[in-house]
Structure 1
Amino acid sequence: MNTIGFHDVTFGWGENALCERLNLQLRGGKTTVFLGRSGIGKSTLLRLVAGLLQPQHGSITGLQDKVAWMGQQDLLYPWLTVLENVMLAARLNGEKPDRHRALALLEQVKLSEVAESPPSQLSGGMRQRVALARTLYAQRDVVLMDEPFATLDVMTKLSLQTLTATLLKGKTVLLVTHDPLEACRMADDIVLLHDQPLTVEAWPVPNGDVPRQLVDPGLLKAQAELFSRLNQDEKTL
């Protein structure tokens, strides 16, 4: 199940090395969260996994198929309906769209009633739910998520975290976030990124199944400890 491995990966721009001979194993079928200060290179690691960037040395293994990507921006096409946006992967791959499956996914994200509406009529949270349905429609075993909830209000964010964790269970998910609470709720594994060239630190996750409940004392304790660790990195700049 799509274990992703970084093997002696070196990448950078000119004399500025993001990582040098980075070795890292990410468990298949689990959600791994990358955390670190802004500009540390979290999103760049996702782009390396996606094949949008190529390492100067080493290799990344475990990707047997294309990946699905979900970012901060929903990137919905305004001239397509919600349903057509969900089925976009079929159009791009020259396949016949599966309207029944797309509608079933919209039902899962509680948006079936706006299937024929344009994205312009939706709120930010609704648009991200459409983006989630589109991600699921692509049926990829590996899903890369680059701060997909960063621009949402707190309550919408929490709701979408729960929905996403539930619907992506069993897939290999790499999630970039700046939010310690989000990491502690959604992660099977947490990887802290430090310095440049990058060093990695495996951080213990709270007990319990993903998505973890907000009222869990262990979750709140883990969030506080993780925030403290990230704050140390900020103070060393």
Structure 2
Amino acid sequence: MQKIVVENLFKVFGPHPERALALLERGQGKEEILKKTGLGVGVNNASFEVAQGEIVVVMGLSGSGKSTLVRCVNRLLEPTAGRVLIDGTDIRALDAEGLRRLRLEKLGMVFQNFALFPHRSVVQNTEYGLEIKGMAPDERREKAMQALALVGLSGWEDAAPRQLSGGMQQRVGLARALALDPDILLMDEAFSALDPLIRRDMQDELLNLQDEMQKTILFISHDLDEALKLGRRIVLMKDGAIVQVGTPEEILTNPANDYVARFVEDVDITKVLTAEMVMKKSEAVAYLGTDGPRAALRKMKKAAIGSLFVLDEAHAVAGIVTAEGCVALRERGGTDLSEAMTQPIASVSPDTPATELIQIIHDLPHPLPVVDARGRLKGVVVRGSLLGAIAERGGSTQ
């Protein structure tokens, strides 16, 4: 399901923008149009989609049009031409009241500037949108406190913004958006003003929150490493136009033109490859309470492997058994596979970068399990396939 659909979107700054549209149709560029007409082309014929629960990063250099584009998505800026559909509704057709409801009910916005009210406490800042929405004081306080807990600010609700670090203030901005429980988060350079270490922490926090909430996120950034870390897909812009849309790996391995190739040429492929990209399906697994040592040994023999991951009733990884351990259990008459099981074992999430996988798997005597947020087995990473994938894409295995 597509939550956001942008179709042939244009934004021109200045009077009589149709003059610029006509010149764009003739193939003239942004700089040439500015010299001829004095009109600024902010967005030039942009089209892309964002699926439900997806993080899409719009990125480009300063002046590429990325911030203009996101402001057209919620009509902080009025598009000149084209369509923006939110859940199938063309927002350009909404009247003032319809647009207000859309912003309060479906869209949350997080800016680079924290935009906190200095005279309001942390919780009062967080509940501001709910107050505008007309929610009763007790209910909005409860929702604000829940949002602050989500971003790790429980206990700071009565503090003033000036008492918080930059990273904490940005967490308040994020909590304010989350308190409205929007379907869609629009994040415009949300972490750009933070120190590098705090910025990385906020990126990790956003990914952790996304695992839990599954929001639809349109994230604006000028930082390629940030885009590669956060985005399931990347929309790369230049001079107001979209030059490529794709997954991080697609953009790195198949750049659409020389501009994209130059943009990504210095990226370390091991920071982009993830466990999900290099994992393979496990040949066989055993189940607690169902399989005993004989069943486990039979599965190992058939798959020509020397160990099995053991899953519990919820299909979460409970441990691992080896052929030697199962033989010993069988010989002493045991039937409970947990008696031969080793736990805990190392595991990684699907978005773990290859740089971390190399370190974890180096001395591991068995494949590395890849698990989801509930611990359920998604696949396994084998050292040979990991190093092969890195080498195939031109990365270093050192």
Would you call these one fold, judging by a TM-score over 0.5?
yes
Q: Given the alignment of the two structures, is residue 215 of structure 1 paired with residue 356 of structure 2, yes or no?
A: yes
Q: Given the alignment of the two structures, is residue 81 of structure 1 paired with residue 121 of structure 2, yes or no?
A: yes
- Is the partner of 2:79 in helix, strand or coil? coil
- Is the partner of 1:113 in helix, strand or coil? coil
Give a deviation string over 1:168-215, Cα, whole Å, max 9, x none.
34211111111111111111111111234x133023324446764573
5+ residue gaps, structure 1, are 226-237
In the alignment, which residue of structure 2 is the partner of 1:21?
A: 45
Instruction: Give 1:18's aligned amino acid.
Output: G
Q: Which of 237, 254, 259 in structure 2 is aligned with 1:193?
A: 237
Separation of aligned partners in 1, 2:163 and 2:205: 22
Q: 1:132 to 1:81 in 2, by over 3 A?
A: same
Contact 1:189 1:202 in 2 (8 A): yes
Contact 2:126 2:173 in 1 (8 A): yes
Separation of aligned partners in 2, 1:172 and 1:210: 19
In the alignment, which residue of structure 1 is the partner of 2:269?
A: none
In the alignment, which residue of structure 2 is the partner of 1:232?
A: none
In the alignment, which residue of structure 1 is the partner of 2:270?
A: none
Separation of aligned partners in 2, 1:199 and 1:74: 28
Contact 1:2 1:142 in 2 (8 A): no
Contact 1:31 1:189 in 2 (8 A): yes
Instruction: Give 2:108's aligned amino acid.
Output: A
Instruction: Give 1:202's aligned amino acid.
Output: V
Give a deviation string over 1:108-164, Cα, whole Å, max 9, x none.
222211111111111111111111111110111111101111111111111111111
Separation of aligned partners in 2, 1:195 and 1:27: 25
In the alignment, which residue of structure 2 is the partner of 1:203?
A: 246
Instruction: Give 1:199's aligned amino acid.
Output: I
- Is the partner of 2:73 in helix, strand or coil? helix
In the alignment, which residue of structure 1 is the partner of 2:141?
A: 99
Q: Given the alignment of the two structures, is residue 155 of structure 1 paired with residue 296 of structure 2, yes or no?
A: no
Query: Quick check: which one's helix share is greater?
Result: 2
Q: 1:212 to 1:183 in 2, by over 3 A?
A: farther
Contact 1:161 1:211 in 2 (8 A): no
The TM-score with structure 1 as length reference comes to: 0.83
Separation of aligned partners in 1, 2:11 and 2:57: 20
In the alignment, which residue of structure 1 is the partner of 2:10?
A: 10
Instruction: Give 1:215's aligned amino acid.
Output: E
Contact 1:86 1:102 in 2 (8 A): yes
Q: How many residues align?
A: 219
Give a deviation string over 1:70-115, Cα, whole Å, max 9, x none.
0111111111111111111111112114322322222222221111
Q: 1:112 to 1:195 in 2, by over 3 A?
A: same
Separation of aligned partners in 1, 2:350 and 2:8: 31
| Structure ID, larger Rg | 2
Q: 1:127 to 1:211 in 2, by over 3 A?
A: farther
Instruction: Give 2:130's aligned amino acid.
Output: A
Q: 1:19 to 1:72 in 2, by over 3 A?
A: closer
Instruction: Give 2:247's aligned amino acid.
Output: P
Give a deviation string over 1:15-45, Cα, whole Å, max 9, x none.
3333343322222220100111111100000
* Structure 1 stretches of 4+ moved >6 Å: none
In the alignment, which residue of structure 2 is the partner of 1:165?
A: 207
- Most deviating of 146-155 and 89-98: 89-98
Q: Given the alignment of the two structures, is residue 135 of structure 1 paired with residue 177 of structure 2, yes or no?
A: yes
Q: Which of 42, 51, 56 in structure 1 is aligned with 2:66?
A: 42
Q: 1:105 to 1:22 in 2, by over 3 A?
A: closer
Q: Given the alignment of the two structures, is residue 145 of structure 1 paired with residue 187 of structure 2, yes or no?
A: yes
Separation of aligned partners in 2, 1:216 and 1:44: 38
| Cα distance, 1:2 vs structure 2 | 4.8
Measured on the aligned residues, the alpha-carbon RMSD in Å equals: 2.3
Q: Which of 103, 115, 126 in structure 1 is aligned with 2:168?
A: 126
- Is the partner of 2:42 in helix, strand or coil? strand
| Cα distance, 1:167 vs structure 2 | 1.6
